[in-house]
Amino acid sequence: MAEEAKWYIIHTYSGYENKVASDIEKNAENRDLKDLIQDVFVPTEIVTEVKENKTREVERKIFPSYVIVKMVMTDETWYLIRNIRGCIGFVGPSSKPIPLTKEEVERLGVDKKTIEISYNVGDTVVIIDGPLEDNMGTVENIDKENNCVKVEVSMFGRKTPVELELNQVRAV
């Protein structure tokens, strides 16, 4: 395939987000377009709600009325998306699909990148980026899900825990 898949945002009727997402996946599979329409999802978050002195966790849509799709834009995929019931169209000028930029994709957190790390808890590492660059420390905790590592650095004669991104440190 000459063109690579990009992320697009689809505008839907309120409350139709999950229906539109599942219909896109079903139609892509039925028309054998799974290689062109690669990923479809509705961004949600878990929120703790307190009502009448009762606490419960609720899944809430981050962007109501929007679905995010990773796809290769062709006439066939455009037609498939536009003819889903509940879909208003693509986000862009006069419904012309505009793909998200790399910065927007990173900010939205839709494209998860896996980072290979060469250190473990207890290893000595050097900080290679940020205000503490070139300082050495000991790895206290690694959280791959949130892309962070806690490193204990010696500053002014005291051990100080510092939280950094996984790619800001490397093994010595």
Q: What CATH number has the domain bearing residue 33? A: 3.30.70.940
115 found inside a domain? no
One domain for residues 89 and 136: no
- Record the pTM: 0.64
pLDDT at position 116: 74
* Tally of domains within the chain: 2
137 found inside a domain? yes
pLDDT in tens, 45-82: 888 888 888 888 888 888 899 999 999 999 999 999 99
* 102 φ/ψ angles, rounded to the nearest 5 degrees: -60, -40
72 found inside a domain? yes
pLDDT in tens, 153-171: 998 889 999 999 888 888 8
Domain membership of residue 133 as a residue range: 124-171
pLDDT category of residue 147 using cuts at 50, 70 and 90: confident
DSSP string spanning 97-159? --PPPHHHHHHHT-S---------TT-EEEE-SSTTTT-EEEEEEEETTTTEEEEEEEETTEE
